[in-house]
Amino acid sequence: MDLKKRLIRTIILSCFGLALGAAIAGLSVLMDKADSNDTGTPSMMATSIGGPYTLIDMDGKTRTDKDYAGLYKIIYFGFASCPAVCPTELQKIATAITALPAEQQKRIQPLFITIDPERDTPKILKSYVALFLPNMVGLTGSVAQIDAVKNAYKIYAAKVPDGTNTNDYTMDHSSFIYVVAPSGQIITMFKTGDNAAKITEFLKSLP
């Protein structure tokens, strides 16, 4: 790679890094406000993140948020070819859920929503999520559909060129685990620094 290409790549990665930092900072502020809210009133986080969506599941069926009404949802946004962060977080979710009593596990629906719909087909997602939990549902959709749900959940995601081939890329993205109430309202979010035991403890406290 010549000097000009290296400089362009460095600039692109720097811009993505700044954008990711801003997204994480913004979400951290919301999380701090939610953590400090002990009045019983809806937090800023709960009212400003999330919302309805229409996507395609790993069997090619149209799914909306209403399909999972009545269940607690654990939602993670990532991509199937993610080398480290996504599998680590999905395994964390799997460990947290399987540590719960069987009856409580039935009340929780884990969802994996791709941020890379151009590559993550339903078939790929079906094979991928099966590595973690048998009841985990993988969701994809058109670029417009994925952009809409990313915006609703305040997810940062962007392509990062990986080589000279325009089809060869990885994804920079924020990494949060969302816990959503049966009503559809965000209850809380977990960061990459939170371990499975912390998530299990929180899930056990749910009514």
pLDDT beneath 50, residues of the chain: 1-26, 28-46
Q: What is the CATH number of the domain that holds 158?
A: 3.40.30.10
Helix, strand, coil percentages (3-state) for the chain, rounded to 5, are: 45, 20, 35
Spatial separation of the C-alpha atoms in residues 160 and 144, rounded to whole Å: 19
Pairing relationship of beta strands 157-161 and 169-173 according to DSSP bridges: antiparallel
Domain that holds residue 120: 3-204
Q: How many domains is the chain partitioned into structurally? A: 1
Token digits of residue 200: 């299990």
- Residue 39 sits at φ, ψ, to 5 deg, of -90, -10
Residue-wise pLDDT tens digits, 42-89? 333 446 899 999 999 999 999 999 999 999 999 999 999 999 999 999
**What pLDDT does 167 receive?**
73
